[in-house]
Amino acid sequence: MAAAVELAARNVPVSVFEAGPIPGGRARRVEVNGVALDNGLHILIGAYRDTLRLIELVNPHRAAVLQRLPLDWNIHGEFHLAAQRLPAPLHVLIGLLGASGITWREKLAIAQFMRALKRNRFRLAPDIRVEQLLMQYGQSEKLCRVLWRPLCVAALNTPPTIASAQVFLNVLRDSLYAERGASDILLPRVDLSALFPEPAAAWITRRGGQVRTECRVTAIEPAENSFVIETGGTRETFTHVICALPPHQVNAFLIGITALSETAESIERFEYQPIHSVWLQYPGSIKLPSPMLGFTGGIVHWIFDREALCGQRGLIGAVISASGAHLQLPQDQLAAAVHQDLKRSLGNLPEPAWARVIAEKRATFSCTPGLKRPSQVTPLRNFYVAGDYTESDYPATIETAVRSGMTCARRICA
Ligand SMILES: Cc1cc2nc3c(=O)[nH]c(=O)nc-3n(C[C@H](O)[C@H](O)[C@H](O)COP(=O)(O)OP(=O)(O)OC[C@H]3O[C@@H](n4cnc5c(N)ncnc54)[C@H](O)[C@@H]3O)c2cc1C
């Protein structure tokens, strides 16, 4: 959708084929019991420059669709760091001085770690695992548990035992060490399809483009100076293709096209990490102390209060990122375990009226050290690949996907 908006903005007549009934892909609305949920709760940060610009372009009410909060890292009952309204990097450093739940020695260890990273310009050669990096810089078990591990898993959706330290540092560089607003947290106040892809589709249509939902592409055939796209029984010819499928599905189209064999091979080597989202509908009187709250020690990583964000009273969304013991549980047991976790931490919660687990088994690629990711520009002329898995110094995020789409669109226009 980012590629299509960028092309439509330059008056290129663009057609988007979307297999699903609702645009949004891995960040989309899912309706359950007549309630608009998301397939997974998503957080944006101020550093998502291009995503925020596109949301603003297609959605005239940006302030109404995103709640912007200064960084507030609140691990329930264990650790709390709130960024201050000061110029960077003082906003985080002064926040660190006032943080609760860690010792002065641990605060100093964080400050020294951050200073060393800055001195080395956030570069590592060669890339190592996040766990190794944290050990090298003497980060205590508690700091890893309440800060670095949750930050690594939230940003890379990959456990620190296997995650790329270089990509982790890129995220720290552009969020905590950039201007103050870059570390802000932006939480959607509407469902994810209403946040960007639906207004984007309307915007593209107004500029003469087309967005066809429930329109699955079944084949892409390179022809002379063009491509034939097959959807069901229909065949149409286009001058350029941006193939914006998720990495685990894209090779069905690339394998078999000789010029794309290297691209396909690099994608074949990817491994994936899941994300589980558990929605629990409690009575309307149930509220969280803040819109977003972190946990360690149990199954749940983060919970979100949908009333504070979208006005959905009593609805709590819980996130469990990456692999872990929870994968062994059937969905009803997982929902019950999440409820028990919340009860233990928050006090006497009543049984939820209903609960729903949404499992995204291949939510993102595993962001491991030195992973080679394919370029958006392929050796096949006028054929591009876009998505969160393509060449970038960021992990699989909305911003990565958006930048990737924009790169393709700009290359086409150039
Ligand atoms: C549960 C969950 C939580 C996440 N949390 C965050 C977060 O907090 N912050 C963040 O930045 N990122 C988060 N991410 C990652 C983010 O959602 C993805 O990086 C991003 O959505 C990827 O976008 P994409 O366009 O690359 O791929 P996708 O969103 O996967 O889009 C691919 C599209 O291709 C369509 N498609 C597939 N096959 C065909 C076909 N044959 N014909 C036509 N269409 C087809 C699909 O329906 C889909 O719409 C999360 C992901 C998940 C799953």
Ligand 1 centre to CA of 247 (Å) is 10
360 Cβ inside 6 Å of ligand 1: yes
25-58 per-position pLDDT tens digit: 999 999 998 999 999 999 999 999 999 999 999 9
50 Cβ inside 6 Å of ligand 1: no
pLDDT value at residue 17: 98
25 Cβ inside 6 Å of ligand 1: yes
349-379 per-position pLDDT tens digit: 999 999 999 999 999 999 999 999 999 999 9
Q: What is the mean pLDDT of residues 125-146?
A: 97
Give me the sign of the Cα torsion angle 158, 164, 165, 167: negative
Ligand 1 centre to CA of 24 (Å) is 7
* Burial grade of 127 (CB within 10 A; 0-12, 13-18, 19 or more): middle
88-118 per-position pLDDT tens digit: 889 999 999 999 999 999 999 999 999 999 9
62-93 per-position pLDDT tens digit: 778 999 999 999 999 999 999 998 998 899 99
Q: Give me the chain's average pLDDT, please.
A: 96
220-278 per-position pLDDT tens digit: 999 999 999 999 889 999 999 999 999 999 999 999 899 999 999 999 999 999 999 99
99 neighbors 79 (Cβ within 8 angstroms): yes
Structure confidence at residue 20 as a pLDDT band (50, 70, 90) = very high
pLDDT value at residue 60: 78
Residue 381 CB partners (closer than 8 Å, separation 6+):
none
17 Cβ inside 6 Å of ligand 1: yes
Give the C-alpha separation, 204 to 12, whole Å. Answer: 10
Q: Which residue's CA lies nearest to atom 14 of ligand 1?
A: 397
174-225 per-position pLDDT tens digit: 999 899 999 999 999 999 999 999 999 999 999 999 999 999 999 999 999 9
| Residue to substitute in 398, 399, 406 for testing ligand 1 pocket (most ligand atoms within 8 angstroms of CB) | 398
384-393 per-position pLDDT tens digit: 999 999 999 9
Nearest ligand 1 atom to the CA of 231 is 42
pLDDT value at residue 233: 84
Q: Which residue's CA lies nearest to atom 12 of ligand 1?
A: 397
Nearest ligand 1 atom to the CA of 48 is 11
Nearest ligand 1 atom to the CA of 386 is 26
Which residue has 């909305």 as its token pair? 398
43 Cβ inside 6 Å of ligand 1: yes
